[in-house]
Structure 1
């Protein structure tokens, strides 16, 4: 089997020749592996390591971006500004520096906001890339989100307050966010056809110890819009890959009801996210992706500790219905040998 066949077998609940392994690497790690393996393209990393990479899809934005040339910031199509922050001398990240909805109070003001126009994306270019990647890999994308986009535009603190104090404003904004991305997603799925295997929906609903929002808030604000997206994705023959960090277990039944097919990243150190319990309760309805602990073991452990952690994930979340990967992107300072230990353990695993 090749990488695409192996991952599709898991998604179809068939038995592959071996458990597939995926990798999520921060850009700095990608560059390290390019140098290590003497390759120029990121996908060549996964080919050289015999990794069953799930290839990311995006849609190029071709709309006009208005930016002050005197500002040393980036701005995205939602009007959110970012500034570069040095985590250390070798690692740089982007942090939000301006949130365009933060000071708004009247929901009617949202009507005049320049929401992203679905016509400002290059669907044909995205479809060509999807078809090319799908000849070798299972594809995943584009990235869409409801509450994460709202938090980015409004601030996390205000967004959480809005679930209680400003429900009218939150509903109105989420309607705009859901329409803009939903129409973009529909046009992409129409253009790419069966070259899109999964769509990536990211809406963190869990923190390290508890839920980020209440089940009642999830049901009121997110569930109906999420289900609409899932229904559309399924109507186009693709699956729903849902990302939420943290202690999200109380909402997993609702995610399943909405139509989620693959759950990521299974942060099992959080309350309620015990791997064996999740497998027993939801393993017949969800494919699990991720699992390998990425706060302590992968970045700071030894290769032997990473191997043990990976093996435990394989035994408790797999071997069927499971695609091992790190819990979120392996960060810049993660030792390369630890990444290789993860890959090697999965490749050598036998039931």
Structure 2
């Protein structure tokens, strides 16, 4: 069985041969550990595939991982203060509604960046402004939402025409321990947008993968209703028991393991963490995948332990 075949067996609850696992290494992590990290990657082809030593420039960063400032096609100014980690938006072109009438959105491109709907709204307005808009409901708000939605639909329409098996989306909806908005506001302003975007994919028989950082437990059922077939939530922000309650058997979970634990724990802690997730959220039928993101503050010993542990527990139900 190929990796792709096994992956979709897990997504569709069709008894995969193993739990799909992955380890994400930030560019800054590569820069810090360099050849030592390469040694780990080479030792674990089941996770990283075939890797050729010397094929990576540890000091070269692209896109928003590059230190400095960058203005995107929407007019949002991004700033990165440490190359290899991500940038943030520091200037919002629609922070004042006075600029809205003369604002022209970009022409739909070929892809959607991380933060395509909710985050794009606050990239344009500013976070506090958008939260106030959800409460005050100024007339421009619905026009802004429609503008961003129309852009997204145009891009996704191009994707659907190519008939992929899955389309990936990312939009961080949560904070560390709660939603930044009420579930009611989510359902009023954002859920209809996701339903149209994801529905276009599902109507064509295409799986929808959705990533969100932060606490999203209260709206996971809504996201499933919108068409999400694989959800990528953070375990710490949502708790394992919370995710078991709202997700198990309903939607495939690509579980983002606890990246806030990895810098400070022992290899034994990692083993216990992964085992608990597999036992509670997994099943022989499938519906579980595991991903571990390693920032530059994770010791090499723990990156190695993560890889070894994932390789063991990917076969737990085999």
Deviations 1:186-234 (A, max 9, x none): 11331x323xx33233333322222211111111100111100011111
Cα offset, 1:250, TM superposition: 1.4
2:103 alignment partner in structure 1: 113
Local SS of the residue matching 2:210: strand
1:97 alignment partner in structure 2: 90
The structure-2 alpha-carbon separation of the partners of 1:276 and 1:184, relative to structure 1 and needing over 3 Å to count, comes to same
Deviations 1:24-79 (A, max 9, x none): 2211224567634659xxxx9589531278xxxxxxxxxxxxxxxxxx62111111
Cα offset, 1:241, TM superposition: 1.6
Whether 2:229 is the aligned partner of 1:261: answer yes
1:59 alignment partner in structure 2: none
Residue of structure 1 aligned with 2:189, choices 211, 221, 224 = 221
Local SS of the residue matching 1:278: helix
2:163 alignment partner in structure 1: 193
Gaps of 5+ in 2: 50-67
Cα distance in 2, alignment partners of residues 249 and 221 from structure 1: 18
Cα distance in 1, alignment partners of residues 175 and 219 from structure 2: 13
> Is 2:31–2:84's contact at 8 Å kept on the other side of the alignment?
no
TM-score (norm 1): 0.75
Local SS of the residue matching 1:226: helix
TM-score (norm 2): 0.82
Q: 1:1-351 alignment to 2 at 5 Å?
A: 1-31=1-31, 35-36=35-36, 45=41, 48-51=44-47, 73-86=69-82, 93-105=86-98, 110-118=100-108, 121=109, 123=110, 143=114, 145-190=116-161, 192-194=162-164, 197-267=165-235, 269-270=236-237, 273-295=238-260, 297-319=261-283, 320-326=286-292, 329-349=293-313, 350-351=316-317
Local SS of the residue matching 2:208: strand
Local SS of the residue matching 2:81: strand
> Is 2:257–2:290's contact at 8 Å kept on the other side of the alignment?
yes
Stretch moving more, 152-161 or 302-311:
302-311
Cα distance in 2, alignment partners of residues 166 and 9 from structure 1: 44
Cα distance in 1, alignment partners of residues 73 and 252 from structure 2: 32
Tell me the number of residue pairs that the alignment of Structure 1 and Structure 2 aligns: 295
The structure-2 alpha-carbon separation of the partners of 1:142 and 1:285, relative to structure 1 and needing over 3 Å to count, comes to farther
Cα offset, 1:4, TM superposition: 1.6
> Is 2:247–2:253's contact at 8 Å kept on the other side of the alignment?
no
Cα offset, 1:312, TM superposition: 1.3
Structure with more relative contact order (C-alpha pairs < 8 Å, separation 6 or more): 2
The structure-2 alpha-carbon separation of the partners of 1:237 and 1:36, relative to structure 1 and needing over 3 Å to count, comes to farther
Deviations 1:135-164 (A, max 9, x none): xxxxxx864621111111211111111101
Cα distance in 2, alignment partners of residues 93 and 263 from structure 1: 22
Over the aligned positions, Cα root-mean-square deviation in angstroms equals 2.7
Gaps of 5+ in 1: 54-71, 127-140
